[in-house]
Amino acid sequence: MVLVEGKSQKYVHEHLGLTKQRVSQIVKTVMTKIEKSRDGWVYISTWAPATLAKEFQAKVEIALMSMSTGDIPKPDE
């Protein structure tokens, strides 16, 4: 819920009955596994002006198009 739906950890804690620490631990574990499977990739989560965000997204798409498909990590790796 936190990583896919963008819900806050507090929301998940309150609605699923998990402790705050457990929710935090689960998120950290998932993020660590994702980071390890994406060697050379960096996760970015930030707020930016819409024009800048669009520019950045376009650059990422160009970079992805120039890579061979074998260099792009798949979700299950």
- Render pLDDT for 42-59 as a digit per residue (tens, 0 to 9): 778 889 999 999 999 999
**Mean pLDDT of all residues in the chain?**
84
- Rounded to 10 degrees, the C-alpha dihedral 64/51/41/73 comes to -40
On whether residue 32 sits in a domain, the answer given is yes
Structural domain that includes position 40: 2-71
On whether residue 34 sits in a domain, the answer given is yes
Provide mean pLDDT across the span 14-29: 95
Is the confidence at residue 77, as pLDDT, over 50?
A: no
Total number of domains constituting the chain? 1
On whether residue 76 sits in a domain, the answer given is no
**Of residues 54 and 72, which shows the higher confidence score?**
54
On whether residue 77 sits in a domain, the answer given is no
Provide mean pLDDT across the span 36-41: 74
Task: Residue 77: name the closest of 40, 44, 26 by CA.
Answer: 40
On whether residue 40 sits in a domain, the answer given is yes
